[in-house]
Structure 1
């Protein structure tokens, strides 16, 4: 597999300037056109305004790319047939010469291969509800257990089993810290209802943990920085609880299973909150991108 790193990202990495990896699934599969391209450009611009270089990750014509130009971003946003690629799909996509948007796991793998240490996303995948029956768990967790990267996220998607996901991360040896909070955020919500064991309050503190990981020569696992969406921009908790309960019922009644569950529930939330869940999602992503850029800056200053 030939990893293609853009000239801008390569030069920044060589000069030890801050770089932030960004996933592309939100562009190809998370937002409607043309808003998806507008958001992609906005997120890259947010990274630049914080003094860092954005590195959006995707696979185009079988070539894994870290850092996209505007034309390539437009392809991911507008081209029909763009697949959704997890890390398990990368060899198949490369061999078949197809194009695809990268999920958290694929983005983390390719970013780490390119030497990028900080990655911003919306929310992680995790352990699904009814796990004891379905054994359904996101590939994100296993990949993060063996990849040295710092992931800034708004927790895990609230449609998942949050306490089981936190337990699974502990079992896998993935460090989790709340940013400016002792509570684990719930993606659309500032507080999932569950605590975290560690709290970090500044980008410099996060960078210190990253350096300690290296100094201890710890196993190659990720550091998750759980950054809550501001309370003023979160989805109303009562609306969230009501609509999610309805969505889970509808999912069961319609026999939706497997990989179809997550997109079904997320789409249901968007439609039945009049887009408020999407607004909270975007608010979380914007905040994560800005924080990731500040962490990358603190990291490169060490």
Structure 2
């Protein structure tokens, strides 16, 4: 099954956005060589970012987010646009923490920590960026995004994010779901939806054998689940770095710092944090960039 984000309505009163992000998370792992628990943490975050990006109304809208709970993984960074193109990285991709003995699963909460914040910055075409910041609840990512939706965007939501990592470290499945009631949703319906919440945790494992429509009908059995026409998009891991962008970054350092690099090292190599692609600049190229920096004086 190809990666997909698709939106549904339950009884016309509850919005559900579901995502299969397996290939996206596999590409992330290929680029960053993440450990088991880092793959789960960053994969969950990228899935959430893709779902949030797919919710934008205009193609030029975009967001960035960071999660820092004080744990050994360091800071998790992600970015997404309205096409559900995402990218991200963690400070420590090699992080290791023992398995959670209570459930035998990867201990994402221990890797991330919960002494910190999730911060979301949205560029939606206004004069100023929208910035939302909420405290972390558990460091398990999904619960933290649910708290963010509630406190920062005033939209109570059920959030599920899952990444199945095999014993060999390969990504088996990844996906997520966000369930958000409309303002006038019936209380009795909301109670029924909440009763379905335990089954939502099986969503990722169901991706192996079932299409999204069938999964939703199983989870929300007895409710009218309707796919929203034209809501589908394909989430992808896309890094938009370029040599030109890093050239501009070097120029912005200013004359003195560029000159110091030339005199001390004679060359420079910059590695993109989002895709690990390296850009090398020899002495002659740095001198040309120095001349440009001097011309901007």
Do the structures match in fold with TM over 0.5?
A: no
TM-score range, shorter chain: under 0.3
Q: Larger radius of gyration, structure 1 or 2?
A: 2
Higher relative contact order, structure no. (Cα contacts within 8 Å, ≥ 6 residues apart): 2
**Structure with greater helix percent:** 1
TM-score by length of 1: 0.26
